Structure 1
Amino acid sequence: MNIIMILLAFNFILIIHELGHFIVAKLSKIKVEEFSLFVGPKLFSFTKGETTYSLRLFPILAYVKMEGEDEESDSENAFNKKPVWVRAAVIAAGPLANIISAIILITIYFNINGFQTMTISQIGEDSPAAKAGLQVGDEIIEYDNKRVYQIMDLEQFLYVSKGKPTNIKFKRGNEVLESQIEPEVIPATRYLLEVGLNNEGSKENVVSSVIEGGAADKAGIKIGDRIAKVNGETVDDYESLRASIQENGSKPAVVTVERNGEMLDIEITPVEVVDVERYYVGFALGFSKGNIITSFKQGAIFAYSNARLVPYSLAWLFTGKASIAEMVGPVGIVSTMNEAVKTTTSMFEAIMRILYLTAFISVAVGATNLVPFPALDGSKLVILAIEAIRRKPIPIEKEAIITTIGFFLLIGLSIFITIKDIANIFGFSY
């Protein structure tokens, strides 16, 4: 059931994109020859007006075919006969549809579940944040001279800075302050209990999720348990718990949990995970839940912040701060969504998780399509801008050559990423 919902969500993103092109083309009186759901051999179709609506065999992607888009046409309703601004609106409508739909989805999610603020709710004792002079109630504004709007911004900037000492700007009351912070480097080799923890408010190390079939699940740890000790040593916050598990390594450990007022000793063998180096700053951020207006405002911030990560990511690729091996394609996206949904404990929670991930991916798809790379919508907008400046169109044959080159480059990149994603799923190295 989960995988069906994930595939529907993934296709929703692609269909919304094409629907954006389709609606604006229709409003602009451009002849749309076909609107197709999915690709491959045609299973079913019907014609209404001048447009054929098709359902095809392979349940992925969608496309809109407009007269005069890829060939010359003398019809007044052809794409190539419309003014530059009309054609630009049609092209831009796809990416914008993704971004607008993401704002709607994430607004619904935030209105139901609340959202994470940039206000510090908790600081670990002797943590990098404590040493930097941060306090509960401070609002994080900048990290490494870059504006932060959400927790993902902070995580990304931490990652690309490789945990180097840097400046952090924050607001305390009406005063804006700045300090130096030196994140703690967490080695790539880590040891995990495979649980999610809730450390909000007065709660400390309360298990909020348990990975099915994981170390904690096999040992009998349950949602709602509070982890109080590891090998007899008190762990009264996340920092001390993490340090104790890391020190224990992959040896069996005795974890003491509080369950319904009773202390239970459970033997568990932490799982060794070799991942990537991570960086710890030592503070937790608070949550807020407002009305639909507040949720919409936060949704717009979410969309802007995640769209902004696309040009940042491209810059990091060119400067070597990020690797092409870290990119994911459709297979990786579906796999990631599936892994995220696996940790949920109810259908409602699974739907909420998919809703969030769909909004996130939809923004990424919209923003990526605006990149001026051949075959993407962004390159078509650049070509139209050149046409507006020159006051005459670029010959359609030359535009087709540019698009074809870009298409094959994208196909090559997609094949590489797909092979990498499949290798990751099956645990192969690449």
Structure 2
Amino acid sequence: SDNERAFNKKPLSTRAAVIAAGPLANLFIAVIVLSIVFSITGYATTSLNYVEKDSPAYNASIQKGDKIIRYDGKKIYQPMDVIQFLYVYKGKPAKVEVMRDGAIFETQISPLKIPEQERYLFGFNVQQISGDLSNVINTVAPDTPAETSGLKPEDKVIKLNNIPVSNKKDIDDFMSNNKGEPVKMTVLRNGTEMIFDITPYMQKLPEQYYLGIEYEFKEGNILEVIGYSLSYAYSTVRNVAYSLIWLIMGRVSFSQMTGPIGIVSTIGEVVEQGTTFLDKILYLLNITAFISIAIGATNLVPFPALDGNKLLLILIEAVRKKPIPPEKEAFISMIGFVILIILALFTVYNDTLRLIRGG
């Protein structure tokens, strides 16, 4: 437009600020939401509160109380960073920087590769007591035999087919022999023994990678919570950039991409994990903040039709000292829009296929 009040007539800095405001608002709101959630729930740090004996971490001289600083040369901001690098690089040996008593040292860790397998589950996980996985139920997954049979959090599993169990290892050992056969499970609920008939379900697991570590959980003050929320947001933004690079390099398959259907499905699954109304609200806020960060970061990518591309064009205009012809800018945006539509259709196909296959 030739109108002096038109957007394209505004100073470059003003146009850049307006364009960047949307994605940055996504990030800002997400940090606020995360700060609220983490102030209530606490958060997992990168310090270790448990290292399993004879595990890959133990054999790499990593100890309880150590703090993981870098994995394969990449800075670690939250436990999920380690998991992401572990799986993207398919469990290859990696150099790990660890802080112990204020001093940093480097060690080599060789993750344990667990082949693709079938396992049988009841549908609950257990509480960790004094660093060990107990036989007390922590959460019950929805639409599983555990929920259908009536098991509840805080139930203590004491017998399986009259075989005494006292921790998670005993339960796993029993299941490795029992497979999918029906089980009479005896639990202690409020001091009363109760027996449930439950048939485990089979789950196919892809190849997994195991380090043998568990992270320390912390309830920080307001400044620590805000600091962690900012680190979490930055880590998520960085992982968006890494994901694009990994897609191009072939480390991550395009079949792993998800779209609106998959996002809605994931939100539903995450919320259902909550056992109380407050838990469900907190889970919903947490994943909403994660999605908000991912959307904001993606929108800043310099790809045609995204805000990041508009910022790049403004930068080019600043270097050239003259604007890019509107018809060329429109052509670039149209190409990007077509590609985005194709990607959207592809993700809908992926999401629909996952739903049909049950995952």
Identify whether the pair has TM-score above 0.5, normalized to the shorter chain: yes
Matched-pair identity in %: 44
Q: TM-score, normalised to structure 2's length?
A: 0.91
Q: 1:391 to 1:248 in 2, by over 3 A?
A: farther
Give the counterpart of 1:167 among 72, 95, 98: 95
**Cα distance between partner residues in 2 of 1:428 and 1:353:** 22
1:251-266 equivalences under 5 Å are 251-253=181-183, 255=185, 257-261=187-191, 266=196
Unaligned 5+ residue runs, structure 1? 1-72
**Cα distance between partner residues in 2 of 1:126 and 1:229:** 28
**Cα distance between partner residues in 1 of 2:172 and 2:223:** 38
Q: State the partner residue of 1:91.
A: 19
**Cα distance between partner residues in 2 of 1:184 and 1:235:** 26
Indicate yes or no: 2:311 matched with 1:381. Answer: yes
- The AA in structure 2 aligned to 1:354 is L
Give the counterpart of 1:307 among 229, 237, 245: 237
Indicate yes or no: 2:331 matched with 1:396. Answer: no
RMSD: 2.3
**Cα distance between partner residues in 2 of 1:294 and 1:253:** 46
**Cα distance between partner residues in 2 of 1:118 and 1:411:** 39
Runs of 4+ in 1 over 6 A off after TM superposition: none
Contact 1:84 1:388 in 2 (8 A): yes
- The AA in structure 1 aligned to 2:181 is K
Q: 1:184 to 1:266 in 2, by over 3 A?
A: farther
Between stretches 173-182 and 263-272, larger displacement belongs to 263-272
Contact 2:157 2:165 in 1 (8 A): no
Cα offsets for 1:294-325 (capped at 9, x unmatched): 11111100100110001111111112111111
- By how many angstroms is 1:210 displaced? 0.8
Q: State the partner residue of 1:196.
A: 125
Give the counterpart of 2:167 among 224, 232, 236: 236
- The AA in structure 1 aligned to 2:58 is A
Cα offsets for 1:355-383 (capped at 9, x unmatched): 10011111100111111111111111111
Contact 1:188 1:278 in 2 (8 A): no
Q: TM-score, normalised to structure 1's length?
A: 0.77
Greater RCO, CA 8 A, separation 6+: 2
1:283-322 equivalences under 5 Å are 283-322=213-252
**Cα distance between partner residues in 2 of 1:266 and 1:161:** 42
- By how many angstroms is 1:342 displaced? 1.3
- The AA in structure 2 aligned to 1:344 is G
Unaligned 5+ residue runs, structure 2? none
Contact 2:257 2:350 in 1 (8 A): no
**Cα distance between partner residues in 1 of 2:341 and 2:263:** 17
Cα offsets for 1:97-144 (capped at 9, x unmatched): 101111000001111111111111122333322222222111111222
Q: 1:219 to 1:182 in 2, by over 3 A?
A: farther
**Cα distance between partner residues in 2 of 1:358 and 1:195:** 25
1:217-228 equivalences under 5 Å are 217-227=147-157
Q: 1:227 to 1:127 in 2, by over 3 A?
A: farther
Aligned pair count reads: 356
Contact 1:102 1:359 in 2 (8 A): yes
